[in-house]
Amino acid sequence: MSGVVVHNKEKNKYGKFPLTMWEVTAASGVVLGFVLGLVGVYLTMPASDYSFLKLPRSLQDIQILRDNLESYTSDYTVQVLVGYCLVYIFMQTFMIPGTVFMSLLAGALFGVFKGVALVVFTATAGASSCYFLSKLIGRPLVFSLWPDKLTFFQSQVAKRRNRLLNYMLFLRVTPTLPNTFINVASPIVDVPYPIFFLATFIGIIPAAFVTVRAGIALGDLQSVGDLYDFQSIATLFLIGVVSITPTLIGNKSKS
């Protein structure tokens, strides 16, 4: 009951534009850091036409990026890797849609094993960056944008506090809650960072493998929906059910 009261107070408090000048300044400072990193990468690349570079929004964008970046990947591997990581982490930090296309690009450029390792690293780093940025300035934004979803998440975390890692793994593996919401809301509902980190690092591996593997054969994809056939979705849900089973057994034994 007290949690609902607190939630209502927060909701009323952040009814208008939720961020203060300090919070906007802090977020702008993070953006500036990413921009400076990308500028540094750009300055170390050879003079050429880079008009093809943009955030991917479609399979066609990925194919264009792959065709243009393949030659740079072998000659300027470090720059391409650093640039890729900065873009992916930036998108994760600020909840910019399109990371699935970045995962496809990793498969197209680096193959399955290197691609999965790269996606797991960048996705975990980006989620962690989002977690800490939200811990710093995210509370008013989350209460303003997702009040009902936050209430549900808060209640579920409270009920599963003793086996929270299993529950967080379940959320990462299955589409029960959007990953962007989990990243920004976890510090608000007091999910400890070690649990958040482990659940993210382990939980995103199955989906990363499916997406990266699909990136190797971009020409066979007609839409993003082709990534997840019935078998892939069923496998992800099975992994999710296995991960949360200890929590369900623990709750039954207590009752």
- The pLDDT score that the predictor gives to residue 240 is 58
Question: How far is Cα 126 from Cα 55, in angstroms, rounded to an integer?
Answer: 16
Q: Which of 174, 87, 69, 177 is nearest to 129 (CA)?
A: 87
Q: Which of 187, 56, 78 is nearest to 132 (CA)?
A: 187
Question: How far is Cα 45 from Cα 90, in angstroms, rounded to an integer?
Answer: 20
Name the pTM for this structure: 0.80
What are the residues whose beta carbons fall under 8 Å from the beta carbon of 164, sequence distance 6 or more?
Answer: 157, 191, 192, 195
Question: How far is Cα 187 from Cα 132, in angstroms, rounded to an integer?
Answer: 8
pLDDT string in tens for the chain (255-residue length)? 444 444 554 544 444 555 677 777 877 888 898 889 888 888 888 878 788 888 888 888 888 998 888 888 888 888 899 999 999 999 999 888 889 999 999 999 999 999 999 999 999 999 999 999 998 888 888 888 889 999 999 999 999 888 899 899 889 887 778 899 999 999 999 999 999 999 999 989 888 888 888 888 776 666 666 666 556 666 666 665 665 555 555 544 454
**178 CB-contact burial (10 Å; exposed 0-12 / middle 13-18 / buried 19+):** middle
- The pLDDT score that the predictor gives to residue 187 is 95
